[in-house]
Amino acid sequence: MSLPTKVKIVEVGPRDGLQNEVQNVPVEVKVKLVEMLVDAGLTSIEAGAFVSPKWVPQMAASAEVYQQVTKSPGISYPMLVPNMRGLEQAIECGVEEIALFAAATETFSQKNTNCSIEESITRFTDVVARAQTESMRIRGYISCALGCPYEGDVDFDVVTMLTQSFHDIGCYEISIADTIGVGTANKAQALFEQVAKVIPVDQLAGHFHDTYGQALANIYAVLQCGIAVIDSSVAGLGGCPYAKGATGNVATEDVVYMLDGMGIETGVDMDKLLDAGVYINEFLDRAPVSRAANALLKKKAS
């Protein structure tokens, strides 16, 4: 069994983690959270999304967040954009990296982006072409890759086709997402093995939600495929506005604890990561979802 010696963690808490929160999270809180995550050693942190505030009100102040975050050398602050309008907002803010997304089923695509899969391909192709004129780095997401809240099982060939499309138009990395957390280890491994036949494995990432408690098992399974980039969310924050019942992304603390225990380098300082989780959870008035965080915090307090 071959495992990577180093894994890059893409922190999605400030975007994917907070987008489903009902209470308003002020700009200054988001900015501090991002900066605490940078201090913890994370090198890629989604700071927000240029989406319609009507549909995702929590992301309404993303421009202010991006502009107020103190940029550190060598750190990426990707911003999610769904369309050309979002891209133009990103350009106005001086964003250097964007993230695009497409869904692997027709129903989810219509619910999430109000277009078909084919239309989404045309849309993100146009967005990428424009972004490339601004020398932006571009990351892609494939949503609902292991299960759809409306259609159930997902055709792996569609996931592979979308991943190939993102790769062909210039995405440097494509994150395959189990948006509703229904995947299990064998299925996750089979999907990544199939996609890796047409896309270089070093351009693939895994994005797992923990709805059914399977995220760490799925991550371990895809590490065995050579995947060395994992998306996660501090304190297990998150959910999807378009997938009822979907809980948060896998907690960054749980991922770091597992990888540390396996001798796989992440560059993340667990104590500082715990501080970031405590900070945002105290604001939200809740306990961390992360089991590792809860255990380590109790140990520190004893």
Give the active site residues: 240
Contact 253, 292 (CB under 8 A): yes
Dist CA 31 CA 10 (whole Å): 17
For CA atoms 10, 13, 15, 16, give the dihedral sign. positive
Distance CA 139, CA 124 (A): 11
CA distance 81 to 27: 19
What are 49's strand-pairing partners? 80
Name which of 45, 16, 25 is nearest 280 in CA terms: 25
Tell the residue number behind the tokens 């494995």, with chain if given: 201
Residue 181 CB burial class (10 angstroms; 0-12, 13-18, ≥19): buried
Q: Which one, of 264, 208, 213, lies nearest residue 233 by Cα?
A: 208
Q: Name the β-bridge partners of 205.
A: 175
Count CB atoms within 10 A of the CB of residue 197: 9
